[in-house]
Amino acid sequence: MWEIGPGIQFASTELLKPQFGLRAAHHLHLSHQYHLLAWIPIAVWVLLLTHLKDYSEVDKAHLGFDLYKIIPRTKESIETERK
């Protein structure tokens, strides 16, 4: 109806540029909101490499409580598999 697909595509390409400084949690939030599936793997990888103490309050808000709880469990599972 509104034909905003090209606009979303342009914005998603621009927002990946470093000058915007979007954090991984924000990328994941936007990827869910606008169905930007290509953003998900990198955002998840960065989130798993980031210490939980380094997550800002804004990061936690973007992730939501349920997803924020999954990250430590996922990190623990990865460590268990590596042993």
* Mean residue pLDDT across the chain: 87
According to the model, what pLDDT value does residue 50 have?
A: 92
Q: Token pair of 18, please?
A: 């470093």
Q: What local confidence, expressed as pLDDT, does residue 1 receive?
A: 54
- CB distance 36 to 14 below 8 Å: no
Q: What per-residue confidence (pLDDT) applies to 15?
A: 83
Give how far the C-alpha of residue 81 lies from the chain's centroid of Cα atoms, to the nearest Å.
Answer: 23
Q: Report the distance separating Cα 28 and Cα 41, nearest Å.
A: 9
Do residues 42 and 28 lie in contact, with contact meaning Cβ atoms separated by under 8 Å? no
CA separation for the pair 36, 27 (Å, rounded) = 9
The mean pLDDT of 15-41, rounded to a whole number, is: 89
pLDDT of residue 62: 93
